Structure 1
Amino acid sequence: MIFATAAILVAVLSVTMLERQRTGVASETLTLAETPVTIWRSDNADGGPLVVVAHGYAGSRQMMQPISIALARSGFVVAAFDFYGHGRNSEPMSANVTSLEGTTEQLVTQTIAVSRAAAGLPGVTGAVSLVGHSMATDVVIRAAERLEGTAAVVAISMYSDAVTPEAPERLLIVSGAREDRLRKVALDRLRQLDPDATEGETVALGPVARRAVSARWVGHVGVLYSPFTLTELRDWMAGATGHASHGSLPHIGPWLMALLAALVALMWPLSTVLGPTVPGPARQGRRAWVILAAPIAPALLAVTIIPPGAGGLVAFGALTAFFGTWGVIQIALWWRSGVRPQSIRSLAGLLLLIWGLCVFAPALDRYGAAFVPTGPRLWLMGGLMFGTIPFCLADALQVARSCRIAAMVQRLLPPAILLCAMLISPRLGIAFTVLPVMVLFWLVYGLASRWVRARSDPWSTGLVMGVILAWAVAASTPLVAS
């Protein structure tokens, strides 16, 4: 009871503080240039310079909230949008990622269209500025060349060959301290103006001004939440536009982590409503290891022979085949060993489902990253379940009957085999974000399902985990046209 109360208090406090970060700003969701856009404004300003904010690969508008809110508090009008195939944008992204005339041109054209549409909104004054993270750095730098009178560009975790000694005219490059390779790229672009320039220095050559800095302690995603990043970005925009820099910075990262941790922790006392723990099945030795290894070759074959663009979108058909093959083979082998379905504990499955999809997922979607499937992602989720449900049922059976080492291998082996498949079939590699999603899925939902399974049975938890895995993959994987 004490533990549950503490988890609830931390969760409530975290939500309160996260909502407080929005104090002083207002947001509205619009469709501009056929693109879903969130407009952020200060409550204390009638208008201001426009800043267009673009996310990285597999990102979303939600992931860019710290930047959007920090700039809105300073009096800028911020337009944060979802690229094609990302977040709430149901239009697929082009699969022609290796050509500048393909995907890059598609996203540059989209960025320019959103920028011009947002420039016509009430209260927007002056020239537009652009902010991009990761993949979007190359996009916004190229878009700035074609937009009239761009005030400033900020490239976060930048990799782009489009930076020249002449353009962009005002460029801030922010890297994470743990991004050594990207820091070297940033320093190289800085030294286009001054061969002796160092990180943390602002250099100028005629009308061109450039600065490269690194945020301490953080990596690729963490750099978006760093107060150092927000300060540098805000001051750079203020200097480029002549707009006074004011307003406090939001502190989203720590409270988001506290909220998600509290929600996971809350699942442990919630699972006690199912009753006492039940004795688990007998651990299997050599048999468990044999069943663990059996799907490797067939699943690898299935994911590589299915055309990457089956169904009109890259990867989803192949992923369904991979999960389904893996799960069916393991279930069949356990069935042959005498393991039969038990009575489904509907209360256990319902508890895990409600917590996973009605509590944890919306919290992450509102404050962290797009994690609720909408539009075509809903039918993709339905299709994925034909693979993810047998996969997670087999996983629950396997983990319940394996030693700890074998259970750990069971969780790590499928992502490793998927990685091999992506090396064999490069087009499938467009969906590489499935790999970290699976790792986080087992860390978060796997822990919660373990607590529920201890008081119910593998079949109940495995069934629901299959639904949740389909939800997670469908919600987070970019839509790429075949």
Structure 2
Amino acid sequence: MRVSPPRLLALLAGLLICAVAIWRLEDARAGLTITPLAVGSTPATVYRRTDGGKAPAVIIAHGFAGSRQLMEAYALTLARAGYVAVSFDFEGHGRNPTPMRGDVTRIDGTTQYLKREIGRVTDAALALPSVDGRVALLGHSMASDIIVRRALEDPRVAATVAVSIFSEAVTQTEPRNLLMIDGAWEPRLRADALQNARLADPAAREGETIGDPARGDGRRTVVAPDVEHVGVLYSPTALAEARSWLDAVFHRESAGPVAATGGWIALLLAGVVLLSWPLAALLPGGERPFPTLRRKTFLLATLIPAAVTPLALARVDTHFLPVLVADYLAVHLLLYGALALGILALSGVRIGRVAWLGALALAVYGVVVFGGAMDRYVASFMPTLARLPIIAAIAVGAVPYMLSDSLVTDNGRASWLRVLVARGAFLASLAAAVALDFQRLFFLILIIPLIVLFFVVFGLMGGFVGRRTMSPGAVGIGLGVILAWTLGVAFPMFSAG
């Protein structure tokens, strides 16, 4: 099959981009020994310098719906500085097979289980022959509160680094040597961090150190410029501040660049998306199955499901999966997609022939190629066996929804305005569902950015396949599988027991 010059250029550029990005990302691991560590059922990873002697351990904890990979920039930075960095997956997250337990709304519920888990990881880290008996805790978002509360109870913890902190447990003097790092685009969390600093000194300001970390009573707030809740995990400022703070606590000196891998990760993922365009041209071509939707049909199929779905499900019990709010989302997707497909069918719009090779290629590329890059460098994307039934259950809803989305967006051929209206309506329906039952569906708010990212990244890939195969069925099935997979590995597994 002849490939056009622009596609050939894109193929070469994509391969070059991916190769350079992978080289730089792997280079960040050079000189380090990275080994697995099992702490009971908790999977952990130990990062240490190959030529290093005994050193303090730093326990690194991720936030809600995160995993060890998401915190790797801190692990690499601290390991390269000579520390023994131990990162792990919380219960219910990543590859941890044990579900989260307890009441997530109560301090004496889930928080206690996660706090004990950090204690077990701390014990295991201190037992490593490369650790000198000293330890610090570092945690992001949800974990910031967990590590603060753990540090209050564990006298072995010499320092606490809380990234994107929100915790009501901070006191005037505890925890010892508290560094609080927030992104510049996290105004509410910045305010909370400054309030915690002012418990120790009412005149405290951002960027100012109170007390002396070498003495044990240090406290400091730091603002990482130009980043938000996720970007702060890759900010050179945040990484350097964490390293400097621990150096001050443990009387050490570190030099050299930090492992600011965020830019290379973004470049790698962009390269994978770019490659999908010329690769889609290798699929068999198809004929356009129907004309562009009339405006009335488009609006009916977009707005009616968005309005009806959250209202219809407001009082429906959807607790049937051992995953936080994923069961509701699966039903929401199913009803939304069924309503949209029904309206389109009444208007004479059909899915038509399914290009199964295109559906398979899209699903495999999204899950294996893009997902493999994600799993290696960003966040856990390869599920444990316990998650496979969850992915299948979500797919029952995700496939109909993505079939309807592929029809209303005309297989990726619709105008950007129509795409924004269609997907914005779906996001608005999720927001309405949260507003109607905030206590039950609060965690959906945290997943909405993931869905936006899905639309941007995988929506582009689906558009490439759709414009080549002219098969809404191929795009809908392929993207439905990817969406189910993405949500199935991201939502924390949960058991009320």
TM-score by length of 1: 0.95
1:226 equivalent in alignment to 2:239: no
1:432 equivalent in alignment to 2:442: no
8 Å CA contact 1:268–1:451 kept in 2: the answer is yes
1:472 equivalent in alignment to 2:486: yes
Equivalent residue letter for 1:411 = R
Give the distance between the partners of 1:86 and 1:302, measured in 2 at CA. Answer: 31
Matches for 1:129-278 after TM superposition, within 5 Å: 129-204=136-211, 207-246=216-255, 248-274=257-283, 278=287
**Structure 1 residues 289 and 175: CA distance shift in structure 2, 3 A:** same
Q: Deviations over 1:329-364 (max 9, x none)?
A: 222232233333423222322321221111101101
Aligned to 2:300: 290
Aligned to 2:477: 463
Equivalent residue letter for 1:459 = G
Give the distance between the partners of 2:495 and 2:318, measured in 1 at CA. Answer: 10
Which residue, out of 22, 28, 34, partners 2:29? 22
3-state SS of 2:211 partner? strand
Q: Deviations over 1:254-276 (max 9, x none)?
A: 10010011111111111122356
Identity %: 36
Give the distance between the partners of 2:14 and 2:21, measured in 1 at CA. Answer: 10
8 Å CA contact 1:238–1:244 kept in 2: the answer is yes
**Structure 1 residues 131 and 477: CA distance shift in structure 2, 3 A:** same
1:446 equivalent in alignment to 2:495: no
Aligned to 1:105: 112
Give the distance between the partners of 1:300 and 1:277, measured in 2 at CA. Answer: 36
8 Å CA contact 2:165–2:193 kept in 1: the answer is yes
Aligned to 2:387: 377
Give the distance between the partners of 2:330 and 2:199, measured in 1 at CA. Answer: 47
1:411 equivalent in alignment to 2:423: yes
Shift of 1:207: 4.5
Give the distance between the partners of 1:441 and 1:348, measured in 2 at CA. Answer: 19
3-state SS of 1:281 partner? coil
Shift of 1:115: 0.7
Structure 2: runs of 5 or more not aligned: 1-7
Q: Deviations over 1:430-481 (max 9, x none)?
A: 2333311211111011111111101111111111111111001101112233
**Structure 1 residues 403 and 203: CA distance shift in structure 2, 3 A:** closer
Give the distance between the partners of 1:72 and 1:223, measured in 2 at CA. Answer: 19
**Structure 1 residues 210 and 219: CA distance shift in structure 2, 3 A:** same
Give the distance between the partners of 2:419 and 2:290, measured in 1 at CA. Answer: 14
Equivalent residue letter for 2:158 = A
Equivalent residue letter for 2:98 = E
Give the distance between the partners of 1:190 and 1:28, measured in 2 at CA. Answer: 37
Give the distance between the partners of 2:351 and 2:181, measured in 1 at CA. Answer: 54
Give the distance between the partners of 2:205 and 2:446, measured in 1 at CA. Answer: 34
**Structure 1 residues 177 and 294: CA distance shift in structure 2, 3 A:** closer
1:322 equivalent in alignment to 2:332: yes
Give the distance between the partners of 1:114 and 1:303, measured in 2 at CA. Answer: 41
3-state SS of 1:463 partner? helix
Give the distance between the partners of 1:277 and 1:13, measured in 2 at CA. Answer: 35
Equivalent residue letter for 1:416 = A
8 Å CA contact 2:354–2:472 kept in 1: the answer is no
1:42 equivalent in alignment to 2:49: yes
**Structure 1 residues 420 and 4: CA distance shift in structure 2, 3 A:** same
Shift of 1:21: 0.6
Equivalent residue letter for 1:263 = V
**Structure 1 residues 254 and 310: CA distance shift in structure 2, 3 A:** same
Q: Deviations over 1:153-211 (max 9, x none)?
A: 11111111111112112111111122222222222222222222222221117741111
TM-score by length of 2: 0.92
Shift of 1:285: 2.1
Give the distance between the partners of 2:271 and 2:410, measured in 1 at CA. Answer: 26
Give the distance between the partners of 2:324 and 2:262, measured in 1 at CA. Answer: 32
- Using the TM superposition, name which of 364-373 and 9-18 deviates more: 364-373
Shift of 1:405: 3.1
The count of residues paired between Structure 1 and Structure 2 equals 482
Equivalent residue letter for 1:14 = A
Give the distance between the partners of 1:400 and 1:268, measured in 2 at CA. Answer: 18
8 Å CA contact 2:323–2:491 kept in 1: the answer is no
Give the distance between the partners of 2:285 and 2:356, measured in 1 at CA. Answer: 16
8 Å CA contact 1:299–1:321 kept in 2: the answer is no
